[in-house]
Each structure stands twice: as structure tokens, then as C-alpha cells.
Amino acid sequence: MSEAYFPVGPGLGLEENFLSLDDILMSQEKLPGRAESTLPRLAFALGQGAGTGDSIPEGSNLEIPLWLAKGLHDSKRRIISVELPKIYKEAWRTVFSADANVVDLHKMGPYYYGFGSQLLNFVNPENPEIAQTILQTFISRFRRIMDSSQNAYNEDTSALVARLDELERALFRAGQKGLNDFQCWEKGQASQITASSLVQNYGKRKFTDMDG
């Protein structure tokens, strides 16, 4: 009711939300893969050649954005094959299960949860473990997000959010908003009328400036 508009949230599951900006940004993240067959004249498009006529030879390694990988991946036609990025592999999975709180999820790819959920679309024997790891990471980091978002009133929060990925940052903002609303009400500012943020930049003339 107090928001000007409601943005479409990320899908966060095996399906993405078409209209969600978060999902669009997330699917731009790159995935390591290999070309299974020669891709004629596509070297330029995939950033690997200088001329428009170059083709990508079979078996070369590529970094493909997720949206492209999802579209081209098909076990029957063998155009490209994808591998897991390293943070979803065995080594990092044990790090997450040991202590998820110390990991800087923003540096690891700011869309850890969303991207991980999309990876489950590709057929891969490690999928159940990946799904389990993502869930457990979220659960163990939940406490810290809750505590830091509900206790930091009127302070600089950049140090707190620096290590969170985008999903956790949205949660952090929700927690902060709850806290700020309560504090604002307690001070009595909730009943003051203030200009809406949408119209503050309009530069309308004030009454004193009008002629006649």
C-alpha cells in the first residue's frame, strides 16, 4: 500500500519469471561449456574470433550465458554441452556444508541461489546434491541475515550486505524496512504527511512562485 509499484520477483525454481528483471540479469551469468560440433561462423558472436567468418571448432571450450545454454542444450542434437561452474562442484559444496556463513556469496556470482536452481534443469547426476547444498546454505545463512537486518538502524549497512547475494539482499531490505517502519512509527513520524518520492523530482512550481 505504501509502495509505488510492485516489481515482479525472481522465479527461483526450475522455471524463471519472464518479466522479472532479477531473472533476466541472472540468466546472463556465464557457464563453462564445450562445443560438441563445429559452429559455423559463430566465433564472433561468442566472443572467440576476430572475423565474422570464423567458426568455432569442435571441442573448444566456451563461456556461454545461461539463457543461451538453456536454449541450445539438447541431448539429441549435441550442439553444446555444459559443465558445472566451480562453486557448484564437490570442493565448494564441502566448504558450504562446513560453514556457509563465511563465504562471500556476492563474489561467487551474485545470483547463487537463482543460478543454482536453473542448473538443475540440465541433466546431471549431481543434481540432488546441488539442490540440497543450496537449501542448506540458505538455511544456515538465514540467522545472520535476520539478526543483521533487524538490528542495524540508521547505520551504514554496506559492510553487512557486501557478502550477500542478490536474493539475500532483497530479504535484508525487507527486514530493514520492517525495522525502519516500526522505529519511524514510534517516533511519531508515521502520521506526518511527506511528499511522495515519485513527485519530488517533478520541479513543480510552489505557490509562492505563481504569478497573479
Partner 1 sequence: MEPAEAEFLAEKELVTIVPNFSLDRIHLIGGDLGPFNPGLPVEVPVWLAINLKQRQKCRLIPPEWMDVEKLEEIRDQERTEDTFTPMPSPYYMELTKLLLNYASDNIPKADEIRTLVKDTWDTRIAKLRLSADSFVRQQEAHAKLDNLTLMEINTIGTFLTQALDHMYKLRTNLQPGESARSQDF
* Contact positions vs partner 1 (CB under 8 A): 1-2, 11-15, 70-71, 73-74, 77, 113, 117, 120-123, 127-128, 131-132, 134-135, 138-140, 142-143, 145-147, 149-150, 167, 170-171, 174-175, 177-179, 181-182, 184-186, 188, 190-191
**Distance of closest approach, residue 53 Cβ to partner 1, in angstroms:** 25
- Residue 82, classed as helix, strand or coil, is strand
Rounded least distance, CB 166 to partner 1, Å: 12
- Shortest Cβ 202–partner 1 spacing (Å): 25
Element (H, E) at 81: strand 80-82
In the bound complex, what is the minimum distance in angstroms from residue 142's beta carbon to partner 1? 5
From the list 59, 106, 95, the residue with the least C-alpha distance to 80 is: 59
DSSP string, 23-71: HHHHTTSEEEEEESS-BTT-TTTTT--SSTT--BPTT-EEEEEHHHHHH
Nearer to partner 1, 48 or 175 (CB): 175
Nearer to partner 1, 11 or 33 (CB): 11
Residue showing cell 543461451: 68
Residue 46 or residue 171: which is nearer to partner 1 going by CB? 171
Q: Which three cell numbers stand for residue 187?
A: 517516533
